[in-house]
Amino acid sequence: MAQVQAPVASPHPSGRKPQERLDRVAIRFAGDSGDGVQLTGTKFTESTALAGNDLSTLPDFPAEIRAPAGTLAGVSGYQIHFSSEDIRTPADQADVLVAFNPAALRASLGEVRRSGMVIINADAFTDRTRERAGYTADPLPDVRERYRLVEIPMTRLTFEALKDLSLSQSEAGRSKNFFALGLMYWLYGRPIEATVAWIEARFEGEIREANRRVLMAGYHFGETSELFPVSFEVPSAKIEPGVYRNITGNTALALGCVAASVTMQRPLVVGAYPITPATDVLQELAKHRNFGIKTFQAEDEIAAAAVAVGASFAGMLGLTVTSGPGLLLKQETINLAVVAELPLVIVDVQRAGPSTGLPTKEEQADLLCALYGRSSDSPLPILAPATPGECFSVMLEAFRLAVTYMTPVIVLSDSYLANSAEPWRIPDVEALPRHPVKFRTEANGFMPYLRDADTLARPWAIPGTPGLEHRIGGLEKQDGRGNVSYLPENHQRMTDLRREKVARIAREIAPLTPYGVDSGKLLVVGWGGTYGAITTAVDEARARGHDVASVHLRHLNPFAPNLGDVLRRFERVLVAELNSGQLVRLLRAEFLVPAESLSKVQGQPFKVSDVRAAIVRLLGGE
């Protein structure tokens, strides 16, 4: 971080105004997609992490890069929930809304708790902008009645702070998000230094000076304005000791891939085609050429997968990253990797809806596609991280399984994990498990499909190795020798072997331990990014005396070996997932348990209250 000599304010004002202590706060920033809302949210998040709070964030942005200004379609939101206690979700409702225009107010007011604080840029509320947002009457009187409305002329105050600079009106206007950011720093006692340092490093000339000044102006406005009689303090949380950083799921996926390459001592080759919400992973990996990482932006999703499989054939760690529509296009290539028995990792950052659907929105509905979306019998392991931080370790596991079992592995992340951020305890690099790749080099007795007795994996024999010249491909292979075979009994045997090979992975999956209680009335089962909402709902329901537990599945194929036992220890099983009931179908089929479904497909994550209400409904009472 750059050293700054900026005239920064003290993070804790010297008591000119009283401070009130809070356990947790959820703030939602909302504005036009050009207003810098995501940036404002990200900077607030960084400072909050530096303040030592536990936190969870949720960006919520439109698919359009620049929808018409001032319309509902163009509203971009960013919610951050931070606390002095352990929290796992971005909160069902915001305590504070910062709305940069009427459209942002209209789109977000429903997300604010009753009598919460609503801060608006009063300069952005004119007859014309209200009309653009679809208001037929002035909404503010009603807002005043139901919320604590704070009207601030942010645009004018921004211009005022910049009047002696030679910036154009539109350049100056662009700084106003820093006014809101500075104000919120004061209001919640956040350290401002990191953002000042970032502005110094990121911008140049008058723009740098403008952003810095406006940030400070917002901060001092809080201190001096009569509008805020108190500021708030959210003490730091009790967190496991260690070195932390903020991380989003997509960044963690990318870093996990780099770590896999380093610990397995093989270069990573990434084939990818830009697709929301997975593109960040390609972009992050593209920065790290000095790790020997070869990222390749392919002509399409198919070529992206094919390049990764080609790389794997040549002895590299092959990775392809995509979202649902791309997964479909890759399935034939993945099927080849299943038959050719080559390692490959496919990351699907799931998004909402069939076809193009809702590209920036949340859903976890590609499970059955990942499991069954290829022609014929084509088993492969499937993993799903539960938190942004877990995206890191899941990639280490995915590559290890791919190489150990010579199989493609699908990792199902989702758009909520991809974009939400949480504090992440940085692992000790020295303590990361090392699994250096071993290739077959011995020519004596070599056969391309001769299997390891334990894992059933075939040898990884790469071009350039004398004496191991062999041919593989999509035609059914003779077990052992690997020649093309049309024999009926051989196809049966190879089909059985491919299934058994994947099934054996279950032996190394740690047994599941239910969260809350080991047996009882109700077990909530989840997978992927719903972890925070489910466990928080279970905590809340248990606090009210409900006999409920949860279990969260990271391994979706094969399942943890004791999953059937765990399910049967509870009278009822509720499977909560953001699809129309995919995992529930698998559990019913696999274990013959009468599992029930809690399903939501609205392009949004579960709220804690969604899950809590379902628990209460099933258990009665309240």
Partner 1 sequence: MSAPIAKLTKRDFESDQEIRWCPGCGDYSVLANVQRLMPELGIPRENFVFVSGIGCSSRFPYYMNTYGFHTIHGRAPAFATGIKLSRPELSVWVITGDGDGLSIGGNHMLHVLRRNVDLQILLFNNRIYGLTKGQYSPTSRMGMRNKSIPMGVIDSPLDPLAFALGAGATFVARTVDVDAASLQDVLRRAHDHKGAAFVEILQNCPVYNDGEWAEIENKKTRVEAGLPLEHGGPLVWGAKGKRRGIRIEHGVPQVIALRDDEDPIAAGITVHDEKHESPGYATVLATLAPPEFPIPVGVLRAVERPSYEALLDKQIHDATQARGAGDLRKLLHGSDTWTVEG
Binding site for partner 1 (CB under 8 A): 1, 46, 49-50, 52, 194, 239-246, 255, 258-259, 262, 267, 269, 271, 288-294, 296, 298-300, 302-303, 306-316, 318, 332-333, 336, 340, 426-427, 429, 443, 463-475, 483-484
The three state secondary structure string of 102-166 is: HHHHHHHHHHEEEEEEEEEEHHHCCHHHHHHCCCCCCCHHHHHHHCEEEEECHHHHHHHHCCCCC
Smallest distance from the beta carbon of 339 to partner 1, in angstroms?
Answer: 10
For residues 500 and 405, give the distance between their C-alpha atoms in angstroms, rounded to a whole number.
11
Q: How far is CA 612 from CA 336, 574, 615, in A?
A: 44, 12, 5
Report the SS3 class of residue 454: coil
Nearer to partner 1, 282 or 553 (CB): 282
For residues 481 and 447, give the distance between their C-alpha atoms in angstroms, rounded to a whole number.
5
For residues 173 and 69, give the distance between their C-alpha atoms in angstroms, rounded to a whole number.
14
Contacts of 125 (CB under 8 A, 6+ apart): 101, 102, 140, 151
Smallest distance from the beta carbon of 419 to partner 1, in angstroms?
Answer: 17
Smallest distance from the beta carbon of 200 to partner 1, in angstroms?
Answer: 13
Smallest distance from the beta carbon of 39 to partner 1, in angstroms?
Answer: 15
Nearer to partner 1, 475 or 510 (CB): 475
Question: What are the backbone angles phi and psi of residue 185, rounded to the nearest 5°?
Answer: -60, -45
Angle (CA) 445 447 449, round 5° = 140
Return the structure tokens found at 232.
Answer: 């708030």
Nearer to partner 1, 172 or 304 (CB): 304
Smallest distance from the beta carbon of 249 to partner 1, in angstroms?
Answer: 15
Smallest distance from the beta carbon of 492 to partner 1, in angstroms?
Answer: 22
For residues 305 and 322, give the distance between their C-alpha atoms in angstroms, rounded to a whole number.
9
Report the SS3 class of residue 503: helix
Nearer to partner 1, 429 or 453 (CB): 429
Smallest distance from the beta carbon of 366 to partner 1, in angstroms?
Answer: 21
Q: What would the DSSP string read from start to end of 6-35?
A: --PPPSS--SSS-EEE-SEEEEEEEEETTT
Nearer to partner 1, 242 or 545 (CB): 242
Smallest distance from the beta carbon of 576 to partner 1, in angstroms?
Answer: 31
For residues 582 and 384, give the distance between their C-alpha atoms in angstroms, rounded to a whole number.
14
Smallest distance from the beta carbon of 446 to partner 1, in angstroms?
Answer: 12
Let me know: does 42 contact 252? Beta carbons within 8 Å. Answer: no
Nearer to partner 1, 243 or 589 (CB): 243
Return the structure tokens found at 36.
Answer: 């810098």
Question: In Å, how far from its chain's centre is CA 433?
Answer: 24
Question: What are the backbone angles phi and psi of residue 291, rounded to the nearest 5°?
Answer: -95, 10
Smallest distance from the beta carbon of 449 to partner 1, in angstroms?
Answer: 14
Residue 529: half-sphere exposure toward Cβ, Cα within 13 Å: 37
Place of tokens 């610990």: 263
Nearer to partner 1, 238 or 507 (CB): 238
Q: How far is CA 321 from CA 257, 347, 558, in A?
A: 11, 5, 22
Nearer to partner 1, 315 or 324 (CB): 315
Smallest distance from the beta carbon of 254 to partner 1, in angstroms?
Answer: 10
Nearer to partner 1, 336 or 578 (CB): 336
Smallest distance from the beta carbon of 535 to partner 1, in angstroms?
Answer: 21
Nearer to partner 1, 144 or 238 (CB): 238
For residues 484 and 475, give the distance between their C-alpha atoms in angstroms, rounded to a whole number.
6
Smallest distance from the beta carbon of 189 to partner 1, in angstroms?
Answer: 16
For residues 172 and 177, give the distance between their C-alpha atoms in angstroms, rounded to a whole number.
11
Nearer to partner 1, 164 or 428 (CB): 428
Contacts of 131 (CB under 8 A, 6+ apart): none
Let me know: does 607 contact 534? Beta carbons within 8 Å. Answer: no
Beta-bridge partners for 66: none
> DSSP assignment, residue 406?
T
Smallest distance from the beta carbon of 333 to partner 1, in angstroms?
Answer: 6
Question: What are the backbone angles phi and psi of residue 330, rounded to the nearest 5°?
Answer: -85, -10
Contacts of 114 (CB under 8 A, 6+ apart): 146, 147
Nearer to partner 1, 66 or 471 (CB): 471
Angle between helices 608-619 and 531-543 (to 10 degrees): 50
Nearer to partner 1, 112 or 259 (CB): 259
Nearer to partner 1, 292 or 561 (CB): 292
Nearer to partner 1, 99 or 258 (CB): 258
Smallest distance from the beta carbon of 463 to partner 1, in angstroms?
Answer: 4
**AA letter at 613:** A
